[in-house]
């Protein structure tokens, strides 16, 4: 019994260390999302879209993973037969653009912009509906940094 408890504690410690390491590195997010960020801050800058009407979105991976307790599986996924089979300990995190085309929905996989909006905006809206602290979700420029302001 004591050995089972030690194994469980060791497993939890390893998982927490993994999350700390994962949350602290500046993982690139892909060509269409080009990770300009270093360390914790990632920038999704829409380089694969036909037009970049709203500008890039910047977010903090560490805050989402550690402070806000967003599960890895809430954002990272790989679907096979309708199930998310992605796991952080079995290889690399693929770039979103690998499956989500920036310009169009194909093979029932939503386009890149819709994937981000469904995932990020929907999560923020759900938190707001629960009266919990959340990030912006009502106006475009709450998330997007307008790099082409009209003069």
Closest listed residue to residue 40, CA positions, set 67, 15, 13: 67
Give the per-residue pLDDT at 134.
86
Per-chain mean pLDDT for the chain: 75
User: At a CB cut-off of 8 Å and minimum separation 6, what does 38 contact?
Assistant: 26
- pLDDT confidence of residue 129: 93
Given a cut of 50, the residues of the chain with pLDDT beneath it are: 9, 14, 17-38, 151
CATH number of 2-143: 3.90.10.10
> Whole-structure pTM over 0.85, yes or no?
no
Q: For residue 51, what is the DSSP state?
A: -
**d(Cα 147, Cα 145) in Å, to the nearest integer?**
6
**In the chain, where are the structural domains located?**
2-143
């Amino acid at each position: 019994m004591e050995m089972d408890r030690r194994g469980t504690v060791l497993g939890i410690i390893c998982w927490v260390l993994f999350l700390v390491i994962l949350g602290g590195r500046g993982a690139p997010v892909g060509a269409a999302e080009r990770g300009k960020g270093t360390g914790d801050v990632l920038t999704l800058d829409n380089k694969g879209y036909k037009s970049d009407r709203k500008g890039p979105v910047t977010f903090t991976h560490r805050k989402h993973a550690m402070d806000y307790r967003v599960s890895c599986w809430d954002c990272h996924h790989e679907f096979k037969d309708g199930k998310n089979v992605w796991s952080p300990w079995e290889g690399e995190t693929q770039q979103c653009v690998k499956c989500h085309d920036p310009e169009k929905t194909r093979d029932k996989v939503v386009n890149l912009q819709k994937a981000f909006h469904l995932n990020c905006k929907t999560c923020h809206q759900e938190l707001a509906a629960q009266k919990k602290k959340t990030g912006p979700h009502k106006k475009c420029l709450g998330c997007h940094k307008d790099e082409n302001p009209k003069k």
